[in-house]
Structure 1
Amino acid sequence: MKIKLYYDKDCPFCKKYAQILKLKQNHEVSIFNARESQEDILFFKEKGFDINEGFIIYIDEKEILQGSEAVIFLDKLSEKRLFLVDTWFFKKIAYPIIKQIRKAILLILGKNPNIKF
């Protein structure tokens, strides 16, 4: 399986998650800073995915997942699974809160929380 992960390198939460994520060895994983991947991000935007709504993964250049669904997918592939990720609570409450905290932290750090091309 070939997985491309697009995330906001300026976001401390996204950056840390991308660094600590350890996927099973039978997957080819590439990690891209969305702020430096204009062409790909525009491609996803045409398909209805906005990088500002959460990181994006592109699986085998066929399937696109974003936000909580992307986190759940990656968690299922990782060697150390996170507690409560694949739950209604994470999808509907925790993940939206995490997105808002991300935006606030980026503003505090003097960075634009929205990626625009």
Structure 2
Amino acid sequence: MAGESDKEILLVYDRECPVCERYSQVLRIKESVGELKIVNAREDSEIMKEITARGLDVDQGMVLKMGDQYYYGSDAIHALALISSRSGLFNRLNYWMFRSRTLSRILYPLLRWCRNLLLKMLGRTRINNLNRAGKEKF
């Protein structure tokens, strides 16, 4: 029998991004899949150490960890679409747009570009987890 911690789902992203923050607030994960926990990529945490050790650049994509499996960027948004509920307009639209791995891979770079532009306009710095030495502006 799986323990409660086995059902923990971690979503790691930049909480200073207003669009990412809103996305995580309206996303509903099916209860049968587990509990979604949000992790701010700007804070020092064990999961950020793991992500950095794996060479995943959180400035270029969100990370979803389910059990021992890591999903990054377009794969993360695709996995989220598959485990999300279909209740509410946003969740149905999210499922429709990202249920296809191919469509997720096409749309995600555009979403990332928009995010980077928004953060630049807001004057926010990069997270720069792969090279913390130089905090540069977008």
Contact 2:14 2:41 in 1 (8 A): yes
Q: TM-score, normalised by structure 2?
A: 0.75
CA RMSD in angstroms comes to 1.5
Report sequence identity in percent: 30
Q: Given the two structures, how large is their TM-score scaled by the length of structure 1?
A: 0.87
Match of 2:109 among 76, 96, 106: 96
Runs of 4+ displaced beyond 3 Å? none
Residue-by-residue CA offset, 1:57-77 (whole Å, 9 max, x unaligned) = 1111x1111111111111111
Structure 1 gap segments, 5+ residues each: none
Work out which of the two has the higher radius of gyration on C-alpha atoms and give 1 or 2. 2
Distance 1:31 1:11 in 2: 13
- The amino acid that maps onto 2:105 is K
Q: Is 1:85 aligned to 2:92, yes or no?
A: no
Which consecutive residues of structure 2, in runs of 5 or more, have no partner in the other structure?
Answer: 1-6, 87-91, 133-138
1:115 correspondence with 2:127: yes
Q: 2 CA distance for matches of 1:64 and 1:108? A: 30
The offset of 1:89, in angstroms, is 3.2
Q: Is the 8 A contact 2:29 2:84 kept in 1?
A: yes
Which of 36, 57, 60 lines up with 2:64 in the alignment? 57
